[in-house]
Amino acid sequence: MRGNVFINYRREDSAGWTGRLHDRMACELPARRIFIDVDNIEPGENFAHKLDEQVAQCDVFLPVIGPRWLAVSDEGGNRRIDNPADFVRIEIASAIRRDNVHIIPVLVDGARMPSENDLPDELRSLVQRNALEISGKRFHRDAQHLVEAVKASLPWRVRHFRGLRRAAAASVLLVAAAVLITAIASGALPNAFGLEKWIRPSAAEWARFTYVDKTNPALLYDFRRRHAGTPEDKVAEYWLGDVTARAWSKVADSPDRDALADFVSTYRHSGEAQTATQMLISSDATPADSQDASNNPGPLSRFSDCDDCPEMIVVPSGRFTMGSLATERMDAADVNEQPRQLITLPRSFALGRFEVTLGQYKAFLRETPGHDMGSECIGTLDPATPTQGWGDIPGRTYASPGFEQNDEHPVVCVSWNDAMAYVQWLAAKTGRLYRLPTEAEWEYAARAGSEDSYTFGDDESRLCQYGNGADRALNASWEPNRWCADGTRIGTAVVGAYRANRFGLRDTHGNVHEWVADCYFKDYSDTPDATRQSGAARMRPDCGAHVIRGGCWAYPPSGLRSASREQWQSFKRSYCVGFRVAMTLDD
């Protein structure tokens, strides 16, 4: 089957109707397959053969018969249909001679089918064909009936031409879209008029970054790790290089070893950090972490007693007001931070510069093989969906808390008992008076001279650079800090990734809760004199719950305040809880 339609008509009789029918069929069939006029009959060419050739290429033949179809005459007054050279007659006769051409007479404008006696002999069999009437009042319905009848006699590919063309066009668009999406997603097309923000996660995340975000090295390092090789990785690399260069310019010529050590901690992956490390190693000054310095430490000096021991900072003596202001409290539970107490710390003490890391805790476990870390830890099955509820999750432990960690992250899923076992092991290993900090010592060190909500003031937006809490990448059920996007969406950050307070301590706002020595009391109303006068721990014989301080990586700003405190049963382990060590210094 060829898939063509031939429309036969007389211009003087039905040109208008034929044009409408042609246009209607062209809506559903390829226009190039509908012959309505035979053009290009060259001079001298046998027109009868040309017309016969055109009819032979068709599957469906439509003679359109109007009211004057028979009566149209030539200049001599003779009916054209009686002339053997009449185009209409030649085309119809050619179609009748062919068995493979489906003829459908089409009656328009109220015309009737002519009788056999009105037709030349070679056309008389036309009256035996079932005609289809097209009425002006029912044109669309009748025309559709005709189209369906025509399509039934055509090949499948022609009948479904429109659908196939749409499918082909859709396929081309889909392929083009796939190529475009692939190019955008792979980074081959860095900028695509904003489409990259909808297709490439790195672009969407980078578009949300504020200036504060782009100058936060912890966020930039984490972003580059998660989106390595993307166009945004290159942009983040530029920002990180600029931030690193500015920070390095402040310490490159400085004799301050602590400033160099801070730089190494914050920009540990940079080339400048390697230079700073060599400067620390080759320095002529007495190293701050030497044994002599740890025996006779000065305020804010640093030391470490062994390779696997926490780095310590000497916190100077002083006094502060413990607890929160009435205007600072966020909900009824925060009354446990009242009434405020004036605390005196007459002696300096040492406190871990960082939270105890997973690597440091593993060293304890290697040397204490009998210590049982249990086989479950409190958290949620999906940390990204806290609405599932919290509870003990079998299989979650310090080694697999439910989010990615390495040895530089703070250890989690440790109970108060686990933390006590660690400091007792550390004390026995080094011969030094390691212990857990008291609650008063912890808040004094965390505040570092500040009486505001945070060590740096009351501006929540600055938490982005001082601590790992719930940020705007988390959903509303976490009550995220809308100012922050620190790159650590779920779980802990590497210790020391955020800015230090004035005492040089890191991560006192967020990352993990930290166990302290004190038993939990509902408030400060019965604070003993020993605590007010020396910062001693508050204890009692039936101590089933201890205090945790500092807030968790999943907490909103209100839970990261310096005064914020919670109780936690001593035997419980949580993927939000770790600890920091303290040390009583020799007289």
The per-residue DSSP string of 387-398 comes to: GG--EEEET-BT
Q: Are 289 and 302 in contact (CB under 8 A)?
A: yes
The model carries a pTM of 0.61
Question: In whole angstroms, how far apart are CA 318 and each of 46, 338, 449?
Answer: 119, 21, 9
Q: Are 525 and 339 in contact (CB under 8 A)?
A: yes
What is the Cα–Cα distance from 77 to 71, expressed in whole angstroms? 10
What is the Cα–Cα distance from 320 to 299, expressed in whole angstroms? 17
CATH superfamily of 5-159: Toll/interleukin-1 receptor homology (TIR) domain (3.40.50.10140)
pLDDT value at residue 487: 55
What is the Cα–Cα distance from 356 to 511, expressed in whole angstroms? 12
Token representation of residue 34: 């509908």
Per-residue pLDDT of the chain (587 residues; tens, 9 = 90+): 578 999 999 999 999 999 999 999 888 888 888 888 765 566 777 777 878 888 888 999 999 999 999 999 998 899 999 999 898 999 899 999 998 899 999 999 999 999 999 999 999 999 999 999 999 889 999 999 999 999 888 888 777 777 777 888 889 999 988 888 888 888 888 888 788 888 899 999 888 887 777 888 877 887 888 899 999 999 999 999 998 998 898 888 877 777 787 788 778 788 888 888 888 777 644 333 433 444 556 678 899 999 999 999 999 999 999 999 877 766 666 789 999 999 999 999 999 999 999 999 999 999 999 999 999 999 876 655 555 566 888 889 999 998 889 999 999 999 999 999 999 999 999 999 999 999 999 999 999 999 899 999 888 878 878 888 887 666 656 666 666 665 556 789 899 888 899 999 999 999 999 999 999 999 999 999 999 999 999 999 989 899 999 999 888 888 999 999 999 999 999 999 999 999 999 86
Q: 360: which residues sit within 8 A by CB, 6+ positions away?
A: 308, 309, 310, 411
> Could you give the angle at the alpha carbon of 206 between the alpha carbons of 173 and 465, nearest 5°?
165
Question: In whole angstroms, how far apart are CA 548 and each of 307, 392, 417?
Answer: 27, 18, 13
Look up the CATH number of domain 286-584: 3.90.1580.10
Helix (H) or strand (E) segment spanning residue 51: helix 47-56
Q: 400: which residues sit within 8 A by CB, 6+ positions away?
A: none
Q: Determine phi and psi for 306, rounding to 5 degrees.
A: -165, 170
